[in-house]
Structure 1
Amino acid sequence: MVERTTAVSIRDVAVRAGVALGTVSNVLNRPQKVAEPTRKRVLDAIDELGFVRNDAARQLRAGLSRTLGLVVLDVANPFFTEVARGVEDRAAEDSLSVLLGNSDESEDRESAHLDLFEQQRVRGLLISPLGDLSARLGRLRRRGTPIVLVDRPAGANPYSSVSVDDVAGGRMAVEHLLQAGRRRIAFVGGPTTIRQVADRLAGAQQAVAAGAASLEVIGADGLTVETGRLVGQELIGRAAADRPDAIFAANDMVAIGLMQSLQMLDHRLIPGEIALIGYDDIDFAAATVVPLSSIRQPSELIGRTAVELLLAELEAIESGAEVDHEQVVFQPELVIRQSTAG
């Protein structure tokens, strides 16, 4: 038997079953219109030939996709993995699929994903934008693609959004360090062109200003474990008196990297000499060598809520009603573990 190397078409099914193309289409889309013997003959032909319907082409012809696009900053960060899980679970409840794009904190990659999703005619777009995309997103919206910002407040922009009050979260983290008696505090993470990082830093600065302490901002070009390791190595090279006595890391990944480097110098360094707190409360935070204190975000709920807002916009658009842009802001939660104790 010669292996078939080309896709089976609806025409091939019609020829095998000895029916018209329209009859095959009815079996696939309106089976109640086809007599049982004819329907069985078509289904048998489909099984024999291994025919798979091309839903993408069908949806394009109908002008209606069943796919949502999701762009996140870093899919390697478990926080965004959990957000994506929430998006996918909620989308599946409405029989929608999700295309995931990882910008990896790169404007070029972000732009490429937006181009691809526009070409794919996604039903709607969920995005955690890297910078100011108002012009690009505005063009997509004018072409009929509704947009919801994820983990980023919309502010004055005409979009629905789901976010966490990161200023409050940053303030909460540093207030906790101050209550633990720490006064020489460092903020580690970046870049501050990422809105979430800038807001967390702003909150830290507010807390320090009210708490008679100092805040050293140690800039970084990423939010990864490796970023934290590199900063940790720099801190190890300092004299003990020049090190901070507490660190607020912009996210848990940076905090884990810091812990790995600092523990190599002395396993008692955290929390003995340096208290350490992260942000996001990913699953790994509780499983580090010294369980990590963190600021918790409701990651899966953020994803689910973003889809809810998008579906509400789609319903309004399809019914001809006015679109009501809603901005949902969740409050963060302080989770205290051993890394800030003592």
Structure 2
Amino acid sequence: MDEQPGHRVGMRDVARVAGVSVSTVANVLSRPGIVAPPTRQRVEQAIRRVGYVPNGPARQLRGRPSPIVGGVIVDLANPFFAELNRGIEDRLAEAGCLVLACSTDLQPAKEARILDVLREQAVRGIIVSPVGPDLTAVLETSRRGTPVVLVEQPRGPLDLCAVSVEDALGGRVAAEHLVALGHRHLAYLGATVEPGTVPRRRTGARQALADAGLDPDRALLDLRMPIHPPPLADAAAAAADRILAARPTPTAVICFNDTAAVGVLQGLTARGLRVPEDMSIVGYDDLRFATRIAPALTTVRQSPYQLGHTAADLLLDESRPGHTHHDVRYRPTLVVRSSTGPPPARTHRH
């Protein structure tokens, strides 16, 4: 379509080329699901033909929600959060939206700054995996009118939508599995700075040991390692020395995620120990590589993709009249593979 120089193509031009009303063009742009497919395709072809680009700020001034959703995630370089973000992205794409994803790196100040910037940009809403238990910045964002959905965080008494996994149950089933194999001295490998999911899993493991008649303070070695820097797998490999130096020496390690479990496996192997003959290892997440290492990793399965997809679904529903907040929780499951077995006849001392 030929236009005079300087002419800004608008919805009227699209409507004229497509042979429809301006309101139909508007519906295709903001609510494509209510437009008949043949009509929608005709409008989309006209948009491409005339080179129309919607004016985002103008659409928002007319009361239409932004197609941009903020994703405030702990660490997008982490395979778990990358898959969670993909679930968000795919669900939003179905609704004609996209995600602007940011990493907080477990830094409260960075989380607060990201939330401020996203709110200033008038995003449609924000999906956030909180850094810690202090949700002041998140609640302030919601109070100022930006819809917020929590992911990996139960909502508790908060009037927000949330989607999470029963973390304490995940820690419990990991510890119960090892106790059933005969282990009586375990290590729980976490980090010096942790998201809220990890302490809840640790609590579940401690409860499982108490229910088995063991003293959690004696039966569970609580190890915290610094990360970022060094990289998580390297930090976990280095933690093998601390595990082996403990007395009594643990015969099994529960790791706060699968990447840490791989690091521990590498660290133990480098020190001449065999898994699971000398030391059992349990991971958490059941990421794709868990079956591709040797030995294949026993781990607690949760679906980051499902978490992200559900969180995006809840966020999109925020704009529906009569929307009520939901607290969606999924149950993790133990996947037993080759990295766990009975404890050795006697603990190795190094």
TM-score, reference length from structure 1:
0.82
CA distance in 2, matches of 1:215, 1:164: 23
Structure 1 residue 27 corresponds to structure 2 residue 13: yes
1:289-323 deviation per Cα after TM superposition (whole angstroms, max 9, x unaligned) = 221110000221111111121122221xxx3x3x4
> 1:198-250 CA deviation, whole Å, 9 max, x = no partner?
100000100111224411101224492233122123335x28x6421010111
Map 1:123-138 → 2, pairs under 5 A = 123-138=124-139
Map of 2:4 onto structure 1: 15
Taking a change above 3 Å as real, the CA distance of residues 221 and 153 of structure 1, as seen in their structure-2 partners, is farther
Deviation at 1:158, TM superposition (A): 1.3
- What SS class does the counterpart of residue 278 from structure 1 fall into? strand
Q: Does 1:62 align with 2:68?
A: no
Q: Does 1:244 align with 2:255?
A: no
Say if 1:176 and 1:29 are closer, same or farther in 2 by CA, change over 3 A.
farther
- Counterpart of 1:314 in structure 2: which amino acid? S
Q: How many Å separate the matches in 1 of 2:176 and 2:136? A: 38
Quick check: 1:227 aligned with 2:227?
Answer: no
- Cα drift, residue 16 of structure 1: 2.7
**Which residue of 2 is the match for residue 333 of structure 1?**
333
Match of 1:259 in 2: 265
Structure 1: give runs of 5+ residues left out of the alignment.
1-12, 35-42
Partner Cα separation in structure 1 for residue 66 and residue 15 of structure 2: 16
Question: 1:33 offset after TM fit, Å?
Answer: 6.5
Matches of 1:33 and 1:308, distance apart in 2: 31
CA distance 1:160–1:187, shift in 2 (3 Å): same
CA change 1:55–1:291 in 2 (3 A) is: farther
- The structure in which a higher percent of residues are helix is 1
- Count of matched residue pairs: 308
Q: Matches of residues 187-336 of structure 1 in structure 2 within 5 Å?
A: 187-191=188-192, 194-213=195-214, 214-222=219-227, 224-236=232-244, 238=245, 242-268=248-274, 270-315=275-320, 319=321, 321=322, 323-336=323-336
Specify the alignment match of 1:38 in structure 2. none
TM-score under structure 2 normalisation? Answer: 0.80
Deviates more, 1:118-127 or 1:224-233: 224-233
Aligned-residue Cα RMSD (Å) equals 2.6
The question of whether the paired residues in 1 share the 8 Å contact of 2:14 and 2:52 is answered with no
State the secondary structure of the residue aligned to 2:276: helix
In structure 2, relative to structure 1, the CA distance for the partners of 1:28 and 1:108 (3 Å cut) is: farther
Which one is further off, 169-178 or 61-70? 61-70
Cα separation, partners in 2 of 1:186 and 1:306, compared to 1, 3 Å: same
How many angstroms apart in 1 are the aligned matches of 2:299 and 2:335?
5
Change (3 A) 1:244 1:53: same
Residue of structure 2 equivalent to 1:8: none
SS in 2 for 1:82: helix
Runs of at least 5 residues in structure 2 that lack an aligned partner in the other structure: 22-45, 343-350
Name 1:170's counterpart in structure 2: 171
